Structure 1
Amino acid sequence: MTMLLGPDASRGYENIPNTFGTAFPDANLIDVTAQVGWYYFVGTVTGKDGSEYGVILMMFRYTLLPPPIAAGSGCYGWITSGARA
């Protein structure tokens, strides 16, 4: 869908901030105003033989429509109350 929008594909999304600040638990919420989201889990597991293994799970989210267009079409219905809208 964003390829159809051409140069305007990023219009309607929040700009990347010049400063960075993290406030938990809000930092863990889905930010629907961002065009791309990156979520990950890192941990270790222990096998039956006692060997430890590292686990990395990464998920990427790429929004198909800018928030104003998506909101107007009712595409935000899947968002839970914990997400930023």
Structure 2
Amino acid sequence: MAENIKSLIKRCLRLQKRIEELEITIRDITFNDIISRDEFLKKYNLNSKTFDNYRKAGLKAYQPVRNGKIFVSLKEFEKFLKKK
């Protein structure tokens, strides 16, 4: 029983940390700054493979619904380019 409680507490702490990270991300994003993945690819003349490689390299993309539409923050893309 004590192990279950410890496990539950750890899970709650991880969820709390994730919520705090998401709140910070939301504060940093302006909705004028967000475009869909397709708009992003068209705007920067990129293909899907390049986009996937950028994500693997650390570009933050947002997908509110599992298997749903992907969105990119232009500010996040600028930060990503500066890191490279």
TM-score by length of 1: 0.25
Which is strand-richer, 1 or 2?
1
